[in-house]
Amino acid sequence: MSDNKNEQLEKTKQQDELMKETGEAMLSDNEKEYHIQLLTIIGEVEGHECLPNNSKTTKYEHILPKLAVIEDSKETDGLLILLNTVGGDVEAGLAIAEMIASLSKPTVSLVLGGGHSIGVPMAVSADYSFIVPSATMVIHPVRSSGMFIGVMQSYRNIEKIQDRITGFVAEHSHMKQERIEELMLDTSQLVKDVGTMLEGPEAVREGLIDQVGGIREAMDKLYQLIGEAKAEKTS
């Protein structure tokens, strides 16, 4: 009995350290005994360049291998993604979104606080998405700090990147690409900027996010998707 207790304490300690370092955890104490991987995407998504040490960041070179491990794991039944991000590196964000969308394991995302900019495709990349009522999502044009040959080349490059983003979001949500572009280029909402801010219920009405809800609803949906996936395997 004592050995079991010590083993449980050690497991809890390791879990706490993992959450502290990476924001990740394995959730397995539920009644259904499903093994659910928790992944957090917070702050700014860091790409090929390191951000200042005082910035809260999500490093894509940490997330991509983790997603590969989740896909390969026999133990993991599903993935819960918690997002509160201001956006960040476009290429890195799209890479994460594409990886999540290609997982064979059931996935659910929950937007808390904000899912802005490149956070939008990451939020919709899951099989089912939730947003809390107070959270916001900002859709705006791509900004580029890279170097191009000239104005026309720069414009074409940005246009192609925007097409990739709006195409991905349209494919993984219930919004038309034309509507996404319309909100992206709106000049009436953001002061000194172009784009649209959607609050939780608005994001659902637009078809960007599937449902307004919190952690309880997100977990219940993930349990449902896992149960359906297991039933399909055994049938």
Tally Cβ neighbours within 10 Å of residue 109.
26
Instruction: State the virtual CA torsion across 72, 74, 75, 79 in degrees, nearest 10.
Output: 50
Active site residues: 117, 140
- Pairwise CA distance, residues 25 & 90, whole Å: 26
| Residue 183 neighbours by CB under 8 Å, 6+ apart | 139, 195, 196, 198, 206
- Pairwise CA distance, residues 184 & 24, whole Å: 32
Q: Which residues of 175-193 are buried (b: 16+ CB within 10 A; e: fewer)?
A: beeeebbebbebeeeeeee
Name the pTM for this structure.
0.84
Contact 53, 67 (CB under 8 A): no
Residue in 215, 235, 219 with CA at minimum distance from that of residue 32: 219
Helix (H) or strand (E) holding 157: helix 151-171
Q: Within its chain, how far is the Cα of 103 from the centroid? A: 13
pLDDT of the residue at 191: 59
pLDDT of the residue at 82: 96
pLDDT of the residue at 21: 56
Q: What is the pLDDT along the chain (235 residues), one digit of tens a residue?
A: 456 655 555 555 555 455 555 567 888 888 888 999 999 999 888 876 666 666 677 788 889 999 999 999 999 999 999 999 988 888 899 999 999 999 999 999 999 999 999 999 999 999 999 999 999 999 988 765 544 444 555 567 778 888 999 999 999 999 999 999 999 988 887 756 788 999 999 999 999 999 999 999 999 999 999 999 999 888 7
pLDDT of the residue at 96: 94
Contact 154, 160 (CB under 8 A): no
Residue in 50, 203, 190, 52 with CA at minimum distance from that of residue 115: 203
Contact 99, 69 (CB under 8 A): no
CA 166, 172, 173: angle at the middle one, nearest 5?
A: 85
